[in-house]
Structure 1
């Protein structure tokens, strides 16, 4: 349960980060080092968690292994998204996290039988479908807002440039230069 809340919190953090995701940033040496370090930490955490699963048997072992894999998938997906810093990368990370959570849920369903197992599997699928739909919908919303912001900026530039047409000579040129700077044209 604690892991579920951690993953949900990570999804919310990734949503907050997607506001910046529209702007790809060139990978610096420091960013590469952080990315490499995060992946190494993810592998180390996985090995430690996986080793703890060896003392368990049966379905609890399957759940333990699935949870260890989910934590690794989460850490790697977030590291990749932060390193790449694009909307697509954050969406892809959310999809990987949803897949990992689904695998954990299926492992938990393995302990059940009959109708209880059927309901558990259907719930796991429903949860995954909802998470995937949310990730894709959030991506579309962010893209739409970005497009709207761009359209507004262009329209405001056109208004400013039109105002400059009332001027003549150097004053007009200065006005247009100022408008281009202000509206990033």
Structure 2
């Protein structure tokens, strides 16, 4: 239960970004100014980890680095709002959350730590899979008029493939979590646990 709370607490993390109007065009001068600000903010943020030690410091540093990387991707997405930049931003958020979650897991031991790491990885896999689906849908439907004219368009097929792949990736990640939890058991109970996990996730 504790491992779930650690990962869940981070699931909504890193949803911030530099505050720009979504539809406002950013000039080159504004972009450069904001880029300098992001760099300056990063130096200031690192100071908050001073005086810390052990895993608390590792967590703090992971949080600061994650915030910085997200701020950079957010700025790039605001400057050039392409679907690729939007995808990179989503992945950066997922990656930052994952890295902090892994550091949080280091406070645990044994199977609790192993399960925590698997849950963190599963959350990352799911977020990345969703980001990929969003990117595929956006790129394949970017020119609907062209799609309607071209009867041979493979857009629906590519979108369907991306969604199927996302489902498979998520299911595989969930299976690994379930299987890891079985390692806390032994003997027949463990065998039964693994069998149930395989049945549930089609392994």
Q: Is the 8 A contact 2:102 2:117 kept in 1?
A: yes
- Quote the offset at 1:73 in angstroms: 0.7
Matched, 1:7 2:14: yes
Q: Which of 28, 31, 41 in structure 2 is aligned with 1:32?
A: 28
Matches of 1:108 and 1:3, distance apart in 2: 10
Would the alpha carbon gap of residues 126 and 140 (structure 1) be closer, same or farther in structure 2, given more than 3 Å must change? same
Structure 1 gap ranges (5+) = 11-16, 21-27, 156-185
Q: Is the 8 A contact 1:38 1:75 kept in 2?
A: no
Structure 2 gap ranges (5+) = 1-7, 151-203
Q: How many residues align structurally?
A: 139
In structure 2, the residue matched to 1:163 is none
TM-score of the pair, normalised by structure 2: 0.60
- Quote the offset at 1:2 in angstroms: 8.5
Q: Is the 8 A contact 2:94 2:128 kept in 1?
A: yes
In structure 2, the residue matched to 1:90 is 86
Matches of 2:10 and 2:32, distance apart in 1: 23
- Quote the offset at 1:101 in angstroms: 1.7
TM-score of the pair, normalised by structure 1: 0.65
In structure 2, the residue matched to 1:23 is none
Q: Which of 59, 66, 71 in structure 2 is aligned with 1:70?
A: 66
Matches of 1:33 and 1:112, distance apart in 2: 47
Summarize the alignment of residues 78-117 of structure 1 with structure 2, pairs less than 5 Å apart.
78-117=74-113
- Quote the offset at 1:33 in angstroms: 2.2
In structure 1, the residue matched to 2:117 is 121
Structure index of larger Rg: 1
